[in-house]
């Protein structure tokens, strides 16, 4: 059973760029750090799902880079999972990780996959609402219509789910959605090297 960990890269990540930092450079640094997290996981194959041209430069050779339209909300999530299922039909499970979480501990992604043993979908909630990551058995369930930026994503998914244990949650984390969120980055954590260098420069 192959598992895919895909970084979802959209232009929205540029919004957290602090003054004086080029927005595209900032997006690229975030995406590369988040990609390094998923690429370093054991027993998981990395991928990138993107609406941003040229993002393949951050990946290792052989990593699938899947392009989806510039959509929003649940339509973007559905398109991303559909792209994974179409391009990688051998995959049984996948997790979609927002690119604006460059310091996300890989352990939290592992917990999402473990939760799929009893649920169809598992969610890593984001501080302030929405999701940092969404994992699902493939194909992605037709009833799941919530987006990663929906503040009440877990209640929305559970309201639509066919059973009470269909949607699981793991520990939460933070995303960088505006410049003020940069204070959430922990300099004591390993990783997020590209973001760290860009911000320190």
pLDDT tens for 43-87 read: 999 999 999 999 999 999 999 999 999 999 999 999 999 999 999
What is the pLDDT averaged over residues 108-126?
98
Is a pLDDT exceeding 90 seen at residue 189? Answer: no
pLDDT value at residue 188: 86
For the stretch 6-34, pLDDT in tens is 999 999 999 999 999 999 999 999 999 99
What is the average pLDDT score of the chain? Answer: 96
pLDDT value at residue 190: 85
- Give the model's confidence band at 100: pLDDT under 50 very low, under 70 low, under 90 confident, else very high: very high
CB 182 within 8 A of CB 18: yes
What is the pLDDT averaged over residues 125-139?
98
What is the pLDDT averaged over residues 142-169?
97
Torsion of CA 170, 172, 175, 179, to 10 degrees: 170
What is the pLDDT averaged over residues 102-118?
97
What is the pLDDT averaged over residues 154-168?
96
Taking alpha carbons only, the member of 143, 154, 139 closest to residue 4 is 139
Is a pLDDT exceeding 80 seen at residue 201? Answer: no
CB 5 within 8 A of CB 80: no
Is a pLDDT exceeding 80 seen at residue 160? Answer: yes
Beta-sheet strand order (sheet of 2-9)? 65-67, 45-50, 2-9, 91-98, 131-137, 121-125, 167-169
Is a pLDDT exceeding 80 seen at residue 117? Answer: yes
pLDDT value at residue 1: 78
pTM across the whole model: 0.97
What is the pLDDT averaged over residues 119-137?
98
């Amino acid at each position: 059973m192959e598992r895919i960990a895909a970084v979802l890269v959209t232009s929205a990540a540029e919004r957290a760029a602090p003054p004086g930092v080029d927005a595209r450079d900032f997006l690229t640094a975030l995406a590369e750090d988040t990609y390094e997290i998923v690429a370093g996981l054991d027993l998981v194959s990395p991928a990138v799902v993107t609406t941003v041209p040229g993002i393949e430069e951050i990946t290792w050779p052989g990593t699938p880079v899947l392009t989806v339209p510039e959509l929003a909300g649940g339509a973007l999530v559905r398109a991303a999972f559909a792209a994974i299922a179409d391009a990688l039909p051998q995959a049984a499970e996948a997790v979609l990780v927002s690119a604006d979480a460059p310091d996300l501990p890989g352990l939290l992604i592992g917990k999402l996959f473990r939760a799929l043993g009893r649920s169809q979908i598992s969610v890593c909630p984001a501080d302030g609402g929405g999701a940092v990551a969404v994992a699902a058995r493939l194909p992605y369930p037709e009833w799941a219509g919530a987006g990663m930026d929906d503040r009440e994503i877990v209640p929305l998914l559970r309201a639509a789910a066919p059973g009470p244990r269909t949607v699981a949650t793991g520990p939460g984390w933070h995303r960088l959605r505006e410049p003020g969120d940069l204070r959430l980055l922990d300099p004591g954590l390993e990783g997020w090297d590209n973001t760290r260098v860009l911000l320190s420069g």
